[in-house]
Amino acid sequence: MTMENPSVSIVTVTYNAESFIDRYAESVFALLQKHQNFSLVVVDNASSDRTLEKLQAHVGKVDVESRVELIASQTNLGFGKACNLGAEKSGQWTPMLYWFLNPDTVIDNSAAEELIRCFNEKPEADFVGSALKNEFGEKRSAAFRFPKIPTVFSRQCPCGLIG
C-alpha cells in the first residue's frame, strides 16, 4: 500500500458517551463507507450507559463490520491505556497511520483526505493533528499550557492575608 492510499486505523476511547455518540458514529461510518482503507477500533472504558449498544446499532446499518472492532472493557483502563489497547487491536489491519479521535468528534468530509495529503507532502512528519472547529464551523484552539504544581495548588487552595 502506498502513502497515497495508506491503511488508517481510527482509535477512539469512550466512557458514558451515549448522549453524543450518534453524531460521531454517523460521521465515522460514512468515512468508512467512502474509504475502504480506513478501519475503526473503539475501546469503551466500562460505560454504565448505552454507548456500546448505540455503536453496535450503527455498525449493523452499514457494510463495514469487517473493519470495525468494539471492545468492551470490564474496568476503566484510563485514557492512555485504552488508546494503547485500541492501537494494538488495530494491528489486524496493519495500519500505516493511526488517527486518535474523541467520541464527541464529527469528522469533516475532507478531513481524511487532508490527513493523508499532509503525510504525503511531509514524509518526515511523525504525527499531525486535526483542526478543531466548534458547532458553528469556527476554528477553535485545543492547545493549553500544562499546569505546574504551584499553579494548581494556588488555584485550589486560595490563601489570603488575614488582617
Amino acid (one-letter) located at 86: G
Q: Give the 3-state secondary structure of residue 68.
A: strand
Judge contact between 120 and 4, C-beta under 8 A.
yes
Distances in Å between the alpha carbon of 26 and those of 18, 49, 60, 94?
13, 19, 12, 24
Predicted TM-score (pTM) above 0.75:
yes
Reported in sequence order, the residue ranges of the chain that DSSP labels E, i.e. its strands, are 8-14, 38-45, 68-73, 97-100, 132-133, 139-140
pLDDT digits 0-9 by tens, 76-124? 999 999 999 999 999 999 988 999 999 999 988 788 888 888 888 888 8
Residue 20 per-residue DSSP state: T
| 130-142 confidence digits (pLDDT tens) | 777 777 778 776 6
Domains in the chain with CATH codes: 8-156 (3.90.550.10)
Query: How many Å apart are CA 14 and CA 128, to the nearest integer?
Result: 22
SS3 87: helix
Calculate the CA dihedral of residues 87, 106, 108, 81 and round it to 10 degrees: -20
